[in-house]
Amino acid sequence: MGPNSISRLSAEGLGTLLLTYTLAFASAGGVDTAIASAGALAFLYWLLAGASGAHLNPIVSLSLAVRGKLGWVDAALYTVAQLVGALLGGLLLWASAGDAVKPAFLGTSGEVASGDLVKALVGLAIGAFLLVGAYVAFEGAERLLAGLAVGTAFGLAALTGATGVNLAKVVGADLTYTISGGSVAWASIWVWIVGPLVGGVLAAFAVPWVTSQIPSATADAE
Amino acid sequence: MGPNSISRLSAEGLGTLLLTYTLAFASAGGVDTAIASAGALAFLYWLLAGASGAHLNPIVSLSLAVRGKLGWVDAALYTVAQLVGALLGGLLLWASAGDAVKPAFLGTSGEVASGDLVKALVGLAIGAFLLVGAYVAFEGAERLLAGLAVGTAFGLAALTGATGVNLAKVVGADLTYTISGGSVAWASIWVWIVGPLVGGVLAAFAVPWVTSQIPSATADAE
Amino acid sequence: MGPNSISRLSAEGLGTLLLTYTLAFASAGGVDTAIASAGALAFLYWLLAGASGAHLNPIVSLSLAVRGKLGWVDAALYTVAQLVGALLGGLLLWASAGDAVKPAFLGTSGEVASGDLVKALVGLAIGAFLLVGAYVAFEGAERLLAGLAVGTAFGLAALTGATGVNLAKVVGADLTYTISGGSVAWASIWVWIVGPLVGGVLAAFAVPWVTSQIPSATADAE
Amino acid sequence: MGPNSISRLSAEGLGTLLLTYTLAFASAGGVDTAIASAGALAFLYWLLAGASGAHLNPIVSLSLAVRGKLGWVDAALYTVAQLVGALLGGLLLWASAGDAVKPAFLGTSGEVASGDLVKALVGLAIGAFLLVGAYVAFEGAERLLAGLAVGTAFGLAALTGATGVNLAKVVGADLTYTISGGSVAWASIWVWIVGPLVGGVLAAFAVPWVTSQIPSATADAE
C-alpha cells in the first residue's frame, strides 16, 4: 500500500456511503430515478475523482483491473472499501428512515426466475457497458465534463432499469435488509456480478477501440 | 473508404444502438421523454463526436451532405451503419424487455391519416430544424458545450412530440416490430423521411446565415 | 440600421419563434414547465447570443435600454422582431397541433380580477427580476455558463408561475388565439407589461450594484 | 466592517430572499423538489459567489467559521442578512401567493415527536454534510463547476428529505407563518440548528482531509 492509500480508500468508502444513502430516496424507477442517479454520481465524481477515481462500484474497479488500468490489489481494496461504505450507508438509512427501509426502497437484489435470467443479464450488461465505457473514455478529460458524462451514463443505465449495475449498492442493501431482520435471496446474487462484469469488461476494451482510432479527434480540444 | 472508416462507422453503429436501446425506456412523452432524449444524445455526442461526429441519425448525415459538409459516400455509409445499429438496439430490447416490446415502447412509425399529414410533416420538420441546426451551429465548439446543445435540441424536438425525428430509431423500431411478429404501416414511412429532411436541410442553410453574419461574435470566445 | 441589423433581427425573430413553439408543449406548470423553459432558453442563448444577444423578449430588450446597454431604436426593432417571431411560432403551433391550440396550451394572458392584481404584478416582477438580472450579470461571461444561467433564471421564473414574464410569447399567444377564432381579454394585457418591466428595470440597476462592488471577485476567473 | 461589507451582506440577503421565494413553489418533495433546489442554488451561486461566497444559509457560514475560513463577526453578520432576506422572501410569497401560504408550501419547521428525533437529526446532518462539503471542496474551483456542484449537493439533500438544511429558509418560513397568523412549534427549532451544524462542521473537516491527501490530483486541472 502506498502512502496515499488510506485517503483513496476513504474516498471510495465515503462516496459509496453517500451514493447508497441518497439513491434510496429515488428508487421508484423511470426518469426520476435516472435524474437522481446522474446527479448523485456526477457530484461525487467531481468531489472524489481527484482522490481515488471515484469508482464507487466494484464492477468499475474490476473492469478497469481486467483492462490493466488498475492493479489487482488496489481493485480488491477498493471493492472492500466500497462494500463497507455501502453497508454504512444502508445502516444510516435504517437510522434516518426507519420502517421505510424495505427491499424496494433499499434496492436489494431479489430472486430471478429462470425464465427472466437472460433478460436480467442482458439488461445489467448493457447498463454496465454504458457506465464503464464512460469511466474509460473520459479518463483524463476535464473534471466538469468527465463528471457529467459518468453521471449521465449511470442515469441512462438506471433509465433502462439497470439500477443494480452498482454492485456495492446492491450488496450493501442486501446486508442492511438482512441485519434489519429481512430475508434476502442470496442464491441469485451472481446475476448482479456476472451480468455487469461481462458488460463492463466488454466496454473497457471496445470503447477505447471505437473512440481512439483517430488520435487528433479524440484528444480533448477544449 | 479512408483508413479510419471502420472506426467511424463502428462509432455511428454503436451510438445508434445505445440511443435506440435507452430511449425506448422513456417513450411516454412530455418532459420526461425530453430529459431522457437530451441526456442520451449529449452523452453519446461527448463519447463519439471525436470519432465520427456522432450523427446517429440519417437525417443529420443527409442534411449535412446537402450542405456540402459530408461526402455523399460517407453519408450513405453512415446511414447504413446507423440503421444496422438501430436494428441491433431493437433486437437487444427484445432480448431484455421481452413482451414489453410493443409499438409505443419501441417508437414505431405508425399510420398517418390524410387529415393529419400536414400536422405530422410540420411537427417533424420543426424538430429536425432544431436538431440539425444544433449540429451545424456547434461544429467546432468545445465538446462540453456542443454535446449539451445537440442533446438539448433533441430534447426540445422530443418535447414537441417529434421523437420520430431520428429516422434510424424509427426504422430500427419498425424492423424489430416486424421481426417480432408485428405489423407495421410501411406505406406512411415517407412522412418520417420527407418531413425531417425538409426541416434539416432548411436549418443547414438558414442557421449558419443567421448566426454567422457577425464573425467576431460567433467565434467561440470561451 | 447598421449592416448587421438584418441578421440580428432575424436571430431575435427565429429565436422567439422557436421559444414560443416549443414552450407550448410544457405549459402544465410546476417543475416540468421550469425544466423545459430552462432548456429551451439555454439552447437558444447558446445558439443566438453571439448574433443578437438572444433577448427573445421585449422585457429584456426594454430593461437593457433603460439601463443604457441597448439603443432605443434597437430595442424597438428587437421588440417588433420578437413579436413577429412569436406570432409565427403561434401560427406554426396552430398548423401542427390543430385543435390543441387553446389558451392553456398557448399561454395567453387571461383576465386578472382586481383582487388578484397585486399578486399577479408581484409575481411577474420577481420573475422578470430573475431573468433580466441574469442577462445583466452574465453579459461577457463564457457562452456555456451564460446560457445555463439565463436559462435557469427563466426556469425559476416559470417555477414560481411567472411563465408570462416573456411578453412576446404572451402577445404571440393572444394574437394566435384571436386569429384562430378565440376571444382574448386584451384589457388586462398591461399587467404583463407593467409587472415585468418594473422587475426587469429594478434588476438592471440592482444586480450590477450588488455583484460589482468587489471588482476582482466578479471578474470571470475561469 | 470592511468597505465591501454592505455589498457582501446585500448579496447574502438578496440571494436568500430569492432562494426562499422560489423554493416554496417546489415543496412537494421527491425528485422535483431536488431539481428545483439544485437549479435555484446553482443559479444564485453563479450570480453571487463572487460577491459574498453565496452561502445563503447560516449553517454554511457557521460551519466555515468553525473551520477557520470565515471570521466570526462576518459569520454573525451573514446570518443576520440571511435571516432578513428569508423573511422578506416569505413576505413576498405572502403578497404574491396569498392563501397558498401554508406550512407545507413555506417549509416551516414543524414539531418533532421524541420518537422521530434521532431520525430527524441524522437526516439533517447528512444533508448538511453534502452541502457544506461542496462549499469547502469547490472553493477556488471555476465558477461553472462550483455552482453545479454546490447546487447538486443541495438537490441531493432535498432528495433525501432534508430540505430543512437551509436554516434561514426554515426560520424565514416560521416567521412568515407566525406573522400571517399561524402557530409555529418553536420548541423544536433546535433540531434544525443542531442536526445541520453537526453534519456541516464534520464535513468542513472531513471532506478536505479525504480530498486533499494527493495535492496534484485535487488541483483543478481544467
In whole angstroms, give the CA distance from residue D173 to residue B20: 46
Quick: pLDDT tens for B176-185: 999 999 999 8
Cβ neighbours around C73 below 10 Å, total: 11
Residue C2 banded pLDDT, cuts 50, 70, 90 = low
Which member of D8, D10, D26 has the closest CB to residue C159? Answer: D26
Helices (H), strands (E): how many in chain C?
A: 10, 0
Quick: pLDDT tens for C85-130: 999 999 999 998 887 778 888 889 988 998 899 999 999 999 999 9
Would the CB atoms of A119 and B97 count as touching at under 8 Å?
yes
Quick: pLDDT tens for C199-208: 999 999 999 9
Report, as an integer, the average pLDDT of B84-93. 96
Report, as an integer, the average pLDDT of D207-215. 75
| Residue D197: closest CA among D164, D156, D220, D155 | D164
Give C220's contacts in chain B (Cβ within 8 Å): none
Higher pLDDT among residues D15 and C7, named by residue = D15
Higher pLDDT among residues A99 and D137, named by residue = D137
**pLDDT value of residue C92:** 95
Quick: pLDDT tens for C134-167: 999 999 999 999 999 999 999 999 999 999 999 9
| CB burial of residue A100 (10 Å; 0-12, 13-18, 19+) | middle
**pLDDT value of residue D102:** 84
Using the predicted structure, report yes or no on whether residue D221 has a pLDDT greater than 70: no
Report, as an integer, the average pLDDT of D191-197. 98
Would the CB atoms of C48 and B222 count as touching at under 8 Å?
no
Residue D212 banded pLDDT, cuts 50, 70, 90 = confident
Cα of C34 to nearest chain D Cα, Å: 8
Quick: pLDDT tens for D9-54: 999 999 999 999 999 999 888 999 999 999 999 999 999 999 999 9
Quick: pLDDT tens for C21-51: 999 999 888 999 999 999 999 999 999 999 9
Cα of C120 to nearest chain D Cα, Å: 7
Higher pLDDT among residues A99 and D210, named by residue = D210
| Residue D165: closest CA among D146, D187, D191, D183 | D191
Q: Decide if B61 contacts B51 (C-beta within 8 A).
A: no
- Residue showing cell 438592471: C204
In whole angstroms, give the CA distance from residue A76 to residue D185: 51
Cβ neighbours around A206 below 10 Å, total: 15
**pLDDT value of residue D222:** 37
Which member of D122, D145, D149 has the closest CB to residue A96? Answer: D122
Using the predicted structure, report yes or no on whether residue B35 has a pLDDT greater than 90: yes
In whole angstroms, give the CA distance from residue A168 to residue A166: 6
Cα of D40 to nearest chain C Cα, Å: 7
Cα of A222 to nearest chain B Cα, Å: 5
ipTM of the complex: 0.94
**pLDDT value of residue C212:** 76
| CB burial of residue C138 (10 Å; 0-12, 13-18, 19+) | buried
| Residue B132: closest CA among B156, B161, B109, B106 | B156
Angle at the Cα of C22 from the Cα atoms of C17 and C27, rounded to 5 degrees: 120
**pLDDT value of residue D213:** 46
Cα of A16 to nearest chain D Cα, Å: 13
Which member of A35, A152, A210 has the closest CB to residue B43? Answer: A152
Cβ neighbours around D145 below 10 Å, total: 21
**pLDDT value of residue C214:** 40
Using the predicted structure, report yes or no on whether residue D156 has a pLDDT greater than 50: yes
Q: Decide if C220 contacts C142 (C-beta within 8 A).
A: yes
Report, as an integer, the average pLDDT of D128-157. 97
Q: Decide if B155 contacts C37 (C-beta within 8 A).
A: no
Which member of D7, D10, D26 has the closest CB to residue C31? Answer: D26
Residue B213 banded pLDDT, cuts 50, 70, 90 = very low
Catalogue all structural domains in chain C, each as residue range(s) with its CATH number.
5-218 (1.20.1080.10)
Cβ neighbours around D165 below 10 Å, total: 32
Of all residues in chain D, what percent carry a pLDDT higher than 90?
78
Q: Taking an 8 Å Cβ-Cβ cutoff, which residues of chain C contact chain B?
A: 4, 6-8, 10-11, 14, 18, 21-22, 25-26, 32-33, 35-36, 39-40, 42-43, 46-48, 50-51, 92, 95-98, 142-144
DSSP per-residue string spanning A123-139:
HHHHHHHHHHHHHHHTT
Kindly report the average pLDDT of chain D as a whole number: 91
Residue spans of chain A under pLDDT 70: 1-3, 213-222
| Residue D22: closest CA among D172, D128, D135, D138 | D172
Give D42's contacts in chain C (Cβ within 8 Å): 152
Contacts of A214 (CB under 8 A, 6+ apart): B4, B7, B8, B50, B51
| Residue A84: closest CA among A18, A19, A16, A25 | A16
Would the CB atoms of B160 and C43 count as touching at under 8 Å?
no
In three-state secondary structure terms, D199 is helix
Which member of C21, C47, C144 has the closest CB to residue B211? Answer: C47
State whether the Cα torsion C106-C110-C115-C121 is positive or negative.
positive
State whether the Cα torsion A31-A36-A40-A43 is positive or negative.
positive
Using the predicted structure, report yes or no on whether residue B105 has a pLDDT greater than 80: yes
Q: Decide if A168 contacts A85 (C-beta within 8 A).
A: yes
Using the predicted structure, report yes or no on whether residue B115 has a pLDDT greater than 50: yes
DSSP per-residue string spanning C68-131:
TSS-HHHHHHHHHHHHHHHHHHHHHHHHHHGGG--HHHHT------GGGHHHHHHHHHHHHHHH
Q: Decide if B107 contacts B27 (C-beta within 8 A).
A: yes
Q: Decide if C129 contacts C202 (C-beta within 8 A).
A: yes
* Residue of A47, A105, A106, A150 best to disrupt the D interface, most CBs of D under 10 A: A47
Least CA distance to B24: which residue of chain A? A160
- Residue B17, C-alpha cell as written in the block: 444502438
Contacts of B222 (CB under 8 A, 6+ apart): B142, B145, C142, C143, C144
* Greatest pairwise CA separation for chain C in angstroms: 56
**pLDDT value of residue A2:** 54
CA atoms within 13 A on the CB side of C10: 17
CA distances from D116 to A88, A179, A201, B141 (A): 20, 21, 45, 52
| CB burial of residue C140 (10 Å; 0-12, 13-18, 19+) | exposed
Quick: pLDDT tens for B118-135: 999 999 999 999 999 999
Angle at the Cα of D215 from the Cα atoms of D213 and D217, rounded to 5 degrees: 100
In whole angstroms, give the CA distance from residue D160 to residue D137: 21
